[in-house]
Structure 1
Amino acid sequence: MSIRLDDVDYFLAVAKHGKVRRAAEALGVSQPAITQALHRLESEWGFPLFFRSSTGMQLTPAAQPFYERICKLRSGLDDAVKEASDLHLGERGLLRVGVSTLYIQRVFVPAALELQRQRPAARLRLMFNLNDRLQEALHAGDIDLCISALPRVVHEDLTPVSLLDDPIVLVVNNRHPLLKIAELRLEDLSDESWLLPASTVNIRREIEGRFAEAGLPPPRVVVEFNNGTSGQLNPLIENTNLIGLMSESTLNSTAGAGLKALPLEQGRFIRKVGILYRNTAILSPLAQRFIDLVHGQHS
């Protein structure tokens, strides 16, 4: 069996975009080139790859599991090429780490200091962002691993390393009228104004889910942020009646001065923090050493 790598890339592009035209535009090649590649693959493999219709192209049942395996193999090949390139360019000592800003001081810095002591030639390239954005970067291969809140359902291509629990709580200023209610209920929060992350962020969806389960409309968000964390916005909570979010560890630090957690069980969200890395990629010795250091400091 002789298969051209370009043909495989064309197949993956059509599966991703659903149309030959879109795949050709994305790859910068002609539509006939992609059509011919698909014919070669179907002839070589002996089964049809796509259902073709006026609305687009869909993988056949036989091609679907094949597509998933090819994706992993292609990703592994890209990683192997990168590793060889890194060796050639002397970049073997580069580790790309994504970190949620909540865990820079508590998790990342101690391990990075120890790594620098043990591997003084090691170089770190950092990305700070929200959990969701870090995991997108990890899937895309832009970082080697990330330190963040672990998703409730971990993608099959990722391996989690659990480190610690850091629950999220609803917080208000310590003079907020809600704190005077003897037995606070979720419905008491219905008419309040909120400071929350964008609706694409997991914790926002969890909050809205709890309101929906209670038959309540979603929180009325008057301040929304879509990058980083709300840490720099804490003065808005402290000096207004906005309801916001904060990790328990942050609330118990100097950053939580002037704020209190609402005494509401439904306002507490269990969050596990850990490391994620791609199990389809080649984990360098430097990355493995860093993971061991982080895990050892929190085991």
Structure 2
Amino acid sequence: MVNKLKLTKILDRFKEIKIAVIGDMMLDDYIIGSVDRISPEAPVPVVNVKSEKFVLGGAANVVNNLADLGAKIFSFGIIGDDSNGERLTNEFRRKNINSDGIVKAEDRPTIVKRRIIAHNQQLLRLDWEDRKDLTTAQEDMLIKNVKENIKEIDAIILSDYDKGVLTKRVVKEIIDLAKENNIIVTVDPKPKNAMNYIGATSMTPNMKEARECMGADPIGDVERLGKELKEKLKLDNLLLTRSEEGMSLFQDTVENIPTFAKEVYDVTGAGDTVISVFTLSAAAGASWYEAAKIANTAAGVVVGRMGTSTVTKEEILEFYERIYHEWK
């Protein structure tokens, strides 16, 4: 158990931590309206649009989570040379996020996921993306950008949405670079790329992702699954997120953390919050088990909101105190 004084110290240290986020940067576009009729042209609802908002998504949502927690962030990824790319980098600048490591590409668009929402229900999603792997020249630029900043960095998050940024070469060179500099590397993985992440410090898959990584029976033993995945990828630890069953942290032993949420409303971006808070807490002096409990608390806050969301230090402290009420 993290006592209140220690938790407060960990949260206060967030502002001193410098984290690199490398991965698939995106924008989430929400079109919000109401429906009161069906189109006469086709059997589909007609959405009367009331508002539209763009928020940072994918790896950019990890960046956003860290920024709202006060950390200093170095962002690395690929965007298109287009208006949506400008919108994304402008938002980074507004939040004082270092975006010098972002590479602009002429051969792919900035990734945008547009969600149509009415009466608190998502009706449709439209994606603009090109999922091909980076070119060798783009890999060179991305790796060069990370190397130029590595001495400034306390931890690295690899945020993989399988959109082509985290290639096998990029990941291997980043993990090797981190090891040379004694830097934590945590991974939010996509199962098809799991073997790229051998030797990382930690990984935060959900149950579906973990089973796909191992090719395991969907109703198999959870403890065996986590231990075998940790061993297969030569990780220091593994944080397995298990929806309503909470989280399991695999180190030399297995420690289970029950889930807590005010109300599960929307899980969009919850994985981004988990890896952000988990990594930031560990870099700020928490043990991995303490970091997992703090991340579990943060996730319990964000799933109670619609759409991609972030959490503040004050919300973490307040909710942690409520759910782990016996301070020691």
The TM-score range, normalised by the shorter chain, is: under 0.3
TM-score between both structures, scaled by the size of structure 1: 0.23
Which has the larger helix fraction? 1
Which has the larger strand fraction? 2
| Greater Rg over alpha carbons, structure | 1
Higher relative CO (Cα under 8 Å, sequence separation at least 6) belongs to: 1
TM-score between both structures, scaled by the size of structure 2: 0.22
